[in-house]
């Protein structure tokens, strides 16, 4: 008959086996660690350029914030930067200039057909099943969406509210490749900001030149030419290769030693799994032995 | 509870760690279930049934977490880790209402009133009460949520008559797709559902302090649900609206008077949240003209239609929505069947419960645009009426 008392007695009898199983899994965890690829931390610290009054330079999302009754806060730039860095536009810019698709999915590239072969892994199989249920065909060939997902999964963007700076980082087993990815992404994000403003600045300059032509008053002409000067400076900056909206506070740094795998976590996880699996096994066995299955199936 | 401080969470891409973490948690849940079996709180059939539901947590999370179906899934795990790391909440996202959060409402004069909210920290505290072996994956919180649902089942079981159709309906309730889905992922909706069920039970049993405490918990996790439930709480404990026609009418008139007095503010808040939900689904552009609801009278007039629409929403457009439509249909059918048995003891209490469910469904339907977000918000209300009919039946069957 099943009861808490007999169960505890049964477990007491099996405690040695439970202990040995836990130890065995601890050893397995150690072996696993030996074969794990070490991962390094890669990071860059950036900030917005000081002379750009970002709060006054409201974009679409700031307008939404205002519509929702929130002030455009100091951290607004962080959110805009993060959205831009993870955007498909920046991914496209990165792929066009740096051949991102071939760098990350080159092993799937078929030179004869000039296309990529489909990705075959558990994730793609699960996604095929999921999309089948909602009636959508899924093609697992890598494309810009896949590269964008890869960037989102590899690179993380965090805001340090105390230092008011943004950290773009990654934990990777290939620090050189990911380091160059982060550097390129920052440049392309800045280019993306430049592209957004280029047309606006040009329109402003055209308008100011027209105003300057028709204006008669000296003071008015002086004021307009001051504004025009500012816009021309901006235009000059937008058209160069130097960073426009971003400032590199600290360049690319790669940790000296691997930061992953986490030894204590892996060993603890294996040991806990061994303990829970053996305790679970003996619990199931106890239920199996002490249950009157005939009456169970009769009921 | 073990986790890796250098990694936010492990996904299926780290297959071995994901598997070990999930399997350790699953074994823990089986042992947890078995403990109740050994103390005769559940029978062997219930043990297998719940064991299967715990197993489904792993499967559901494989689909839900891997494909980012719920983007805010990481938030609660993040706060739980923050609590475990620091023994307090250090991260801004986990602390009590901060300015600029979606719970802060701007007033006309430029000031703002912050709605008291512990929407991430309180669930994190509640999650920390369950000593699950690993919190390295997003599904860990799914296992904790399922444990909370199981404990709620144990409480409910005591109050449901132990004859076949009633106990089976109660068991059947936990395999309804929305309850099964939201109790298997790491979102606070399951805690909201469990709190609401317990709150309904304690109000039904006239336990003032327990229900007061649960209402405070509900308000802290989800203010709007707490506000809707206060209709039932105030009606039963302060107006005694469940004890006669006069008191019930007086309470209804009071509610109406409050609605009329605050009509401008109520419309403003509904429009505010509608705008916020539109923003969430990306339906706002800087040039758009937002046309909100213009008066409370209009809202009240359209509310019966909104309720029926909301109850059956999402409409069957694809395989997934057909499943949820069938669920909505089943809940309505079972509720009507139980209602037709006329086993409920107090028709005024029943009406108060109906008003609460009606308010919850209508309010959510008015502000939420996305079908599946609405499903997530409404499920904690739709099955409540059914649960009430189940627990109220016991009194009459015994008598």
Write the pLDDT tens digit of every residue in A76-96: 788 889 999 999 999 999 999
Give contacts of B67 with chain A, Cβ < 8 Å.
Answer: 126-127, 130
ipTM of the prediction: 0.83
In this model, does residue B107 exceed pLDDT 80?
no
State the nearest Cα–Cα gap between A111 and chain B, in angstroms.
Answer: 28
Query: What dihedral angle (degrees, nearest 10) is formed by the CA atoms of B354, B360, B365, B368?
Result: -170
Give contacts of B284 with chain A, Cβ < 8 Å.
Answer: 64, 67
Distances (CA, A) of B204 to B237, B242, B396: 10, 10, 14
Looking from the CA of A15 toward its CB, the CA atoms found within 13 Å total 5
Omega within 30 of 0 (cis) for the link into B314: yes
Does the distance separating the beta carbons of A296 and B44 come in below 8 Å? Answer: yes
SS3 assignment, position A110: strand
Instruction: Please name the residue of chain B whose CA is at the shortest distance from the CA of residue A275.
Output: B24
Ordered structural domains, chain A, with CATH: 1-36+263-288 (no CATH), 37-260 (3.30.1890)
Q: Give the percent of chain B with pLDDT over 90.
A: 47
* The predicted structure's pLDDT at residue B92: 66
In this model, does residue A284 exceed pLDDT 80?
yes
Q: Of B17, B44, B275, which has the smallest distance from its Cβ to A269's Cβ?
A: B17
State the nearest Cα–Cα gap between A233 and chain B, in angstroms.
Answer: 28
How deeply is B387 buried, as exposed, middle or buried, from its count of CB atoms within 10 A (0-12, 13-18, 19+)?
A: buried
Does the distance separating the beta carbons of B275 and A67 come in below 8 Å? Answer: yes
Does the distance separating the beta carbons of B104 and A64 come in below 8 Å? Answer: no
In this model, does residue B225 exceed pLDDT 60?
yes
Give contacts of A38 with chain B, Cβ < 8 Å.
Answer: none
Residue (of A83, A297, A71) closest to A192 by Cα position: A83
State the nearest Cα–Cα gap between B180 and chain A, in angstroms.
Answer: 17
Does the distance separating the beta carbons of B92 and A269 come in below 8 Å? Answer: no
For residue range B53-72, list pLDDT tens digits in order. 999 999 998 887 666 667 66
* The predicted structure's pLDDT at residue B163: 79
Q: Give the percent of chain B with pLDDT over 70.
A: 87
- Phi and psi, residue B393, nearest 5°: -65, -30
How deeply is A51 buried, as exposed, middle or buried, from its count of CB atoms within 10 A (0-12, 13-18, 19+)?
A: exposed
- How many CB pairs (< 8 A) connect A and B? 116
State the nearest Cα–Cα gap between A155 and chain B, in angstroms.
Answer: 13
pLDDT band (50, 70, 90) for residue B27: very high
* The predicted structure's pLDDT at residue B396: 63
Instruction: Please name the residue of chain A whose CA is at the shortest distance from the CA of residue B113.
Output: A69
Output the pTM of the full model: 0.77
State the nearest Cα–Cα gap between B335 and chain A, in angstroms.
Answer: 29
Q: Are B94 and B121 in contact (CB under 8 A)?
A: yes
How deeply is A120 buried, as exposed, middle or buried, from its count of CB atoms within 10 A (0-12, 13-18, 19+)?
A: exposed
Distance CA B373, CA B176 (A): 17
State the nearest Cα–Cα gap between A219 and chain B, in angstroms.
Answer: 35
Distance CA B220, CA B307 (A): 26
Q: Are A143 and A118 in contact (CB under 8 A)?
A: no
Q: What is the mean pLDDT of chain B?
A: 85
Q: What is the mean pLDDT of chain A?
A: 85
Stronger pLDDT, B372 or A269, i.e. the higher one = A269
Residue (of A193, A204, A169, A198) closest to A243 by Cα position: A193
Does the distance separating the beta carbons of A265 and B66 come in below 8 Å? Answer: no
Q: Of B27, B66, B290, which has the smallest distance from its Cβ to A277's Cβ?
A: B27
* The predicted structure's pLDDT at residue A197: 84
Q: Which of A34, A71, A135, A280 to mutate to test the interface with B (most CBs of B within 10 A)?
A: A280
Q: Of A7, A130, A260, which has the smallest distance from its Cβ to B6's Cβ?
A: A260
Chain A (8-37) residues lying within 8 Å, Cβ to Cβ, of chain B: 32
Q: Of A60, A69, A291, which has the smallest distance from its Cβ to B106's Cβ?
A: A69
Q: Are B391 and B160 in contact (CB under 8 A)?
A: yes
Q: Are B33 and B42 in contact (CB under 8 A)?
A: yes
Q: Give the percent of chain A with pLDDT over 70.
A: 91
* The predicted structure's pLDDT at residue B102: 44
Rounded to an integer, the average pLDDT of A167-184 is 92
Helix count (H) and strand count (E) of chain A? 12, 6
Beta bridge partners of residue B320, listed in sequence order = none
In this model, does residue B96 exceed pLDDT 80?
no
* The predicted structure's pLDDT at residue B69: 67
For residue range A152-171, list pLDDT tens digits in order. 989 999 888 777 889 999 98
């Amino acid at each position: 008959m099943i009861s808490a008392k007999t169960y505890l007695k049964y477990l007491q009898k099996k405690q040695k086996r439970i202990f040995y199983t836990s130890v065995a899994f601890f050893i397995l965890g150690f072996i696993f660690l030996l074969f794990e690829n070490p991962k390094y931390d890669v990071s860059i610290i950036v900030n917005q350029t000081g002379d750009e009054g970002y709060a006054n330079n409201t974009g679409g999302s700031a307008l939404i914030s205002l519509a929702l009754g929130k002030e455009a806060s100091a951290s607004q730039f962080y959110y805009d930067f993060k959205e831009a860095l993870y955007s498909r536009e920046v991914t496209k810019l990165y792929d066009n200039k740096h051949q991102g698709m071939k760098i990350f999915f080159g092993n799937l590239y078929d030179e004869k057909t000039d296309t990529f072969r489909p990705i075959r892994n558990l994730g793609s199989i699960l996604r095929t099943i999921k999309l089948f249920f909602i009636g959508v065909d899924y093609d697992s060939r890598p494309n810009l969406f896949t590269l964008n997902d890869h960037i989102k999964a590899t690179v993380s963007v965090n805001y340090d509210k105390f230092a008011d700076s943004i950290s773009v980082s990654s934990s990777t087993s290939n620090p050189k490749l990911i380091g160059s990815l982060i550097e390129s992404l920052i440049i392309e994000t800045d280019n993306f900001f430049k592209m957004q403003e280029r047309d606006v600045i040009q329109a402003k300059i055209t308008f100011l030149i027209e105003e300057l032509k028709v204006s008669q008053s000296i003071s008015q002409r002086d004021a307009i030419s001051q504004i025009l000067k500012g816009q021309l400076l901006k235009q000059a900056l937008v058209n160069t290769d130097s960073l426009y909206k971003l400032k590199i506070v600290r360049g690319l740094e790669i940790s000296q030693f691997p930061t992953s795998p986490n030894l204590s976590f892996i060993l603890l996880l294996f040991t806990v799994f061994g303990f829970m699996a053996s305790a679970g096994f003996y619990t199931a066995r106890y239920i199996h032995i002490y249950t009157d299955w005939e009456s169970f199936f009769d009921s | 509870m073990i986790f890796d401080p250098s990694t936010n969470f492990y996904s299926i891409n780290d297959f071995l760690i994901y598997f070990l973490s999930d399997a350790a948690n699953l074994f823990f849940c089986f042992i947890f279930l078995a403990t109740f079996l050994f103390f005769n709180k559940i029978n062997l059939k219930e043990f297998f049934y719940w064991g299967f539901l715990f197993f489904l947590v792993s499967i559901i999370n494989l689909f839900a977490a891997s494909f980012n179906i719920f983007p805010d899934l990481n938030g609660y795990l993040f706060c739980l880790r923050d609590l475990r790391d620091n023994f307090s909440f250090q991260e801004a996202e986990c602390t009590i209402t901060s300015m600029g959060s979606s719970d802060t409402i701007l007033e006309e004069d430029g000031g703002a009133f912050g709605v008291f909210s512990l929407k991430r920290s309180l669930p994190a505290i509640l999650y920390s009460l369950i000593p699950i072996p690993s919190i390295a994956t997003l599904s860990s919180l799914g296992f904790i949520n399922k444990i909370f649902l199981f404990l709620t089942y144990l409480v409910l079981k005591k109050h449901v008559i132990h004859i076949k159709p009633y106990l089976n309906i109660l068991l059947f309730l936990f395999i309804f797709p929305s309850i099964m889905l939201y109790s298997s992922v790491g979102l606070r909706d399951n805690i909201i559902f469990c709190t609401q069920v317990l709150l309904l039970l304690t109000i039904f049993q006239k336990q003032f302090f327990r229900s007061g405490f649960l209402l405070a918990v509900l308000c802290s996790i989800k203010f709007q649900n707490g506000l809707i439930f206060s209709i039932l709480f105030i009606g039963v404990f302060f107006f005694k609206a469940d004890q006669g026609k006069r008191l019930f009418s007086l309470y209804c008139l009071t509610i109406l008077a409050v609605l009329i007095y605050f009509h401008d503010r109520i419309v403003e808040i509904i429009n505010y949240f509608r705008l916020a939900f539109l923003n969430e689904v990306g339906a706002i552009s800087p040039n758009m003209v937002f046309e909100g609801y213009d008066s409370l009278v209009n809202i009240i007039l359209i509310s019966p239609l909104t309720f029926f629409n909301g109850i059956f929403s999402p409409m069957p457009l694809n395989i997934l929505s057909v499943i949820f439509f069938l669920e909505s249909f089943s809940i309505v059918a079972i509720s009507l069947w139980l209602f037709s048995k006329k086993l409920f003891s107090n028709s005024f209490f029943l009406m108060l419960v109906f008003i609460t469910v009606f308010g919850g469904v209508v309010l959510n339907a008015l502000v939420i645009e996305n079908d599946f977000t609405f499903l997530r918000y409404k499920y904690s209300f739709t099955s409540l009426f059914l649960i009430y009919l189940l627990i109220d039946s016991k009194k009459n069957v015994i008598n």
